Amino acid sequence: MRWLVCLLAAALVASLAAKAQTVWTNTPISFTNYPGSDPTLPSSQDRMTPNVWLTRDSSHGPYNARYETTFTAYISPYDTEWANGTTANYASLSYTDWYDWSKGVNPMPTNTVGVNAVLHLISEDIYMDIKFTSWGSHGTGGFSYIRSTPPNIPPSVTLTNPASGAVLVAPATVMIGADASDPDGTVTNVQFFDGASSLGNVAASPYLISASLAIGSHTLVAVVTDNLGATNISTPVTVTVLAFPPPNVSFITPTNGSFFTAPATIILAAAIVDTNTTVTNVDFFDNAAFLGRAAGSPFSILTNLVIGAHNLTALITDNLGTTNTSSSVAVTVTASNAPVNLPQFTGIGLSNKQIGRASCRARV
């Protein structure tokens, strides 16, 4: 029987080999297994981790209900080992199974009450402080202890709306939204800020709040709090509120999909719409390459484009410094001797002579 348990332990160790050593030193909690309680019920088990569920029946020692159905001397609780001491010096302690610890290191299980001890969850390599506060007699069962808990993992929060870089026009009422979660607890609050000014709190999902933003630049963040008081802050999102709609710009020429033959000197001309401010300039780009600036009407320049594909955009700026970018226009410049793309026919084969005869008949 013992060799089978050893094999199971080896398999469990292999499956959890990637887990790092962890020392639980967070706020202690108490657990009570009441005398006469049903050890198969979750309420009678301290489910420390997914792999260790400590419990006890009325006549034996503790066992791991995740893998065992009763206590077995020198083995139970399965996948654990015990030592007197504290986690302050856990690495230098001498560990043994619970049976030897409770009847060898300590004279009897009742003598473990009040003793500072360290429990090692072997496969998960977790060490925790534990101190029994009661131990029921044979035939009665039950026990209680206090033990340390894992470090609290802070919650996380991300702003989902508005998008960073968004431009709004006054009056600007915007819905600010966030996604928040906590891997080892619950989210209790999300607070929204515009710079250092609080915009409000939301205690439960969906984490949404409506806010009116004044003209200017705004840096929005959300701060999340979990059930243990840990907090975290989102990545900032910057939005701008304008007094007037931004100017608009589009291409008059060239049109999207145009073809030119090298050498290609072409006119780039833009149409503008700005009803509230004054346009100061329009800059033209070929992808990220600056082609030139038009500082007055007509907003156009001459430019030379090399052979190849080009993605043209225009950037408009008004007297308030507000900018806007046009939709892109794709053009292609081909070599002067580049072959013409003739229609493709399927299932028809013509020789050069046949093409020549057809051409001659067409001239008759």
Q: Which two tokens stand for residue 39?
A: 């050890």
Q: Place 338 in a pLDDT band, splitting at 50, 70 and 90.
A: low
CA distance 62 to 46: 11
Q: Place 305 in a pLDDT band, splitting at 50, 70 and 90.
A: very high
What residues contact 154, with CB distance under 8 A and at least 6 apart?
182, 226, 230, 231, 232
Q: Is residue 344 pLDDT above 50, yes or no?
A: no
pLDDT tens readout for residues 165-222: 998 999 999 999 999 999 988 999 999 999 999 999 999 999 999 999 999 999 999 9
* Residue 336 host element (H or E): none
Q: What is the pTM of this model?
A: 0.58
CA distance 136 to 33: 10
Q: Place 233 in a pLDDT band, splitting at 50, 70 and 90.
A: very high
Q: Place 228 in a pLDDT band, splitting at 50, 70 and 90.
A: confident
Q: Place 320 in a pLDDT band, splitting at 50, 70 and 90.
A: confident
CA distance 252 to 284: 13
Alpha helices in 122-242 (DSSP H): none
Q: Which two tokens stand for residue 319?
A: 């007297």
Share of the chain above pLDDT 90, in %: 78
pLDDT at 346: 38
pLDDT at 337: 75
**Contact present, 182 and 226 (Cβ < 8 Å):** yes
pLDDT tens readout for residues 87-114: 999 999 999 999 999 999 999 999 999 9
8-state DSSP, 96: B
pLDDT at 302: 96
Q: Is residue 349 pLDDT above 90, yes or no?
A: no
CA distance 300 to 308: 22
Alpha helices in the chain (DSSP H): 2-15, 98-100, 352-363
Q: 5-14, 95-104, 113-122 — which is least confidently predicted?
A: 5-14
The number of beta carbons lying within 10 Å of the beta carbon of residue 349 is: 6
CA distance 218 to 171: 14
Q: Which two tokens stand for residue 196?
A: 């250092």
Please provide the average confidence, as pLDDT, over all residues in the chain: 88
CA distance 99 to 61: 8
Q: Is residue 264 pLDDT above 70, yes or no?
A: yes
Question: What average pLDDT does range 260-270 have in this prediction?
Answer: 95
Q: Show the domains of the chain with their CATH numbers.
A: 2-149 (no CATH), 156-242 (2.60.40.10), 248-334 (2.60.40.10)
Q: Which residues pair with 219 in a beta bridge?
A: 238
pLDDT at 184: 87
Question: What average pLDDT does range 216-241 have in this prediction?
Answer: 96
pLDDT at 362: 34
Strands (E), 156-254: 156-161, 167-169, 172-181, 187-194, 197-202, 207-213, 216-226, 231-233, 237-242, 248-253
pLDDT at 339: 57
pLDDT at 310: 97
Higher pLDDT: 146 or 356? It is: 146
* Residue 25 host element (H or E): none
Q: 13-17, 35-39, 108-112, 199-203 — which is least confidently predicted?
A: 13-17
Q: Is residue 311 pLDDT above 90, yes or no?
A: yes
Strand order in the sheet with 264-273: 248-253, 264-273, 300-305
What residues contact 62, with CB distance under 8 A and at least 6 apart?
54, 55, 56, 71, 76, 77, 98, 143
CA distance 166 to 169: 10
Ramachandran angles phi, psi of 60, nearest 5°:
-135, -175
- C-alpha to C-alpha distances, 104 to 74, 93, 99, 142, 317, nearest whole angstrom: 11, 15, 8, 21, 84
Q: Is residue 290 pLDDT above 50, yes or no?
A: yes
